[in-house]
Structure formats: C-alpha cells, structure tokens
Structure 1
Amino acid sequence: MRLSNRNKASVYNFINTLLIMFVIGGIACFFLEEYRFNVLGRESYLFIIIPILLLTLFYLNGRQIFEYDSDGEALNFKNRNIIPFLDRPLHDEFPKYKLIKYEVVHILFVKRLYVTISSKNTGSTMLKYEVSYLTKKEITDLRFSLNKVVKTNNDKKEQRLKND
C-alpha cells in the first residue's frame, strides 16, 4: 500500500507564504501604529504577536510531507518539510519482518507515529515520524496497513515457537 500527501505540498507552500506575509504585514502595521497613528496603544503589539504565533504553530506541527510504501518485502517511510533547509528529511527503509509494533499519538493538534523495529545491536529501535498533516482517512489506512504487517509478523513468530 502506498500513502502520500505529496500532492498537497503546493497548499502547504501557499499557507507558509501567506503566514510569512502576515508577519511582514503585522510588523509594518505595528510600526505605522507606533510612529504614525498611535491610536491603539499596547494592543498594537498584537499585530506582531498573532502572526508570529500562527507561523510558529505551523512549524511546530511537524514535517508536512509524509510518504509510506509497504509494497514488496520492505517498509519505506519518508517525512520531510516543505522548506528543505529548515529541517533534515527522514528516510527509513527496512524489511517488514523487523516491525515489532507501532503507535499513533495525538497531543492537541500534533500527531506522531512511533514505529518500533527489531535491531541486532540494541534489541529494538524506535523511529519517530510526524503525521499531523495526514487526514483521518489516511491515518486509518496507515494503521490498517501497519496492523496487517504486525499481525503477520506475530503469526510467523508464534508458528516458529510452536514448531520449536
């Protein structure tokens, strides 16, 4: 199964550009209010605070583009930001049999995917992906696919233990 919200990158770029324009416009309105009109008083700081708060929320929500591919014998996860220099993109590929468990965590407006895989060196490794910008249907499809892989792995593990 393949899952990607890469086609929404133009929407995220537009929102990013709009928020940056709000910040610049807010700074301009603040300086006009402070040095020219002086009508609002202390409320003029809201011209700067609100756009910066909105821009910060947009970036704190996590990497915008998430891609998942479970076709074949490997699981492939990609997570990147629309602004390439802002954050390093994540790219992980590993065999399906290494997947132990996964968990999707919702904290306020932030959604994260935690994937635990088996590792020779440490026993298990946890990988973290930001899936805040996926729709409910996309998250449901992702859970369905990962559940299928985990169930298959557990069935094979039980069968091996039963045969031994």
Structure 2
Amino acid sequence: MRFTNKNEIKIIPSIYTVLVAIFVTNIFVNLELMGSDEPINFSHYVPNIVVVILAIYVHRVGQAFDFDSDGETLNLKNNGVFFSKFMEYRVKKAEFPKRKLGKYRFSDYFFYSALTIYISSRRRRGFKKYTFNTTFLTRKKKKGMLSSLDKILEKSKATA
C-alpha cells in the first residue's frame, strides 16, 4: 500500500505566509506606538509571541510523509514542505526489507501524531529506532498504514 499526504500539506506555505504577515504587521504597529506618547505594555508583544510559537509548531509538524509497503521493502520518508519543490531538506527516510521490522508504535495526540518503527539488525543488538511525523495524514490513511504494518508483522512472525 502507498500513502502520502501531499494533498493535505499544500496549505502549509499559505500558513507560513499568513503568520509572517501578522508578525510584520504587529511589528509596525508596535513601532508606531513607540513614536506616540502611549506607553508600550507587555500585552503589545503577546501577538508576536503567539505567532512565533505557532510558526515553530507549523515548522515542526508541517512535513510531507510517504509510506510504501509494496514489494519486498518497506519505505518511509519525511521531507520538509516549504522548499520541497526546489530541494529536499529535513529528510528522514528508512528503506529496509519487511522481515527486519521488529515492532512499531503509533502515537496520536490531538495536535501531533508520529510513527516510531524499530528495525532489527544482525550486526547490532536490539533495535534501531526511527520516528516519522504523520500529523497531516488523514485518519483513513493512518488506519490503512497501521493495518499494513500489522500484516507485515504477522507475516514475518509466521515465517520466523
């Protein structure tokens, strides 16, 4: 099965643009207030603080996610969104045979969801851990991905 969130993340660059516009507008408002006789309070800076926190959140979770379990290998990939048409940045990928999938854990919170996979290795003891951001996957795609991972685990345990 193949899943991607390319359609869902198309809104991320627009959100960046709106947040930058709000930030710059509030900076100009604060500069105008500095020129007047009115004292500047902390409450004048609160909108910029909120916008910076939102921008950090959007930057953190706004990632493209690709999942491919067709064939003999399992491919998972996270990539940044904003400059993704020009270059790959913030890339995290894992490509490995399905038999090496040891276990997985899916964390789904209200504002963030992540898939953590554990890959077994013959050279190292234990598992190698990869975490992928799946926040902008739809609920239907998340369920399909988890059922695909369950099938892979069942098949690998049956052959072992």
Same fold (TM > 0.5): yes
Paired-residue identity, %: 27
- Secondary structure of residue in 1 paired with 2:45: helix
Query: For each residue in 1:19-51, what CA deviation from the matched residue of structure 2 results, as whole angstroms up to 9, or x when unmatched?
Result: 222222222222223323737733211232121
Give the conservation status (yes or no) of the 8 Å contact 1:115–1:128. Answer: yes
Which residue of structure 1 lines up, in the alignment, with residue 113 of structure 2? Answer: 111
Unaligned runs of at least 5 residues, structure 2: none
Equivalence for 1:12: 12
CA shift digits 1:54-104 (9 cap, x unpaired) = 1122123x3520000011111011101113489520122111111111101
Q: Is 2:153 the partner of 1:150?
A: yes
Quick check: 69-78 or 37-46, which moved more? 37-46
- Bigger drift between 148-157 and 78-87 goes to 78-87
Measured in 2, the distance between the counterparts of 1:37 and 1:70 equals 64
Distance 1:46 1:154, change over 3 A: same
Q: TM-score, normalised by structure 2?
A: 0.85
Runs (4 or more) in structure 1 with deviation over 4 Å come to 84-87
SS in structure 2 opposite 1:25? helix
CA RMSD, 1 decimal: 2.2
C-alpha distance in 2, partners of 1:38/1:133?
A: 44
1:89 aligns with 2:88: no
- How much does 1:15 deviate? 1.3
Greater share of helix: 1
Alignment coverage as a number of residue pairs: 156
Which residue identity lines up with residue 82 of structure 2 in the other structure?
I
Alpha carbons 1:4, 1:66 under 8 Å: kept: yes
For the residue of structure 2 that corresponds to 1:6, the secondary structure is coil
State whether residues 30 and 47 of structure 1, in contact with CA within 8 Å, keep that contact through their aligned partners in structure 2. Answer: no
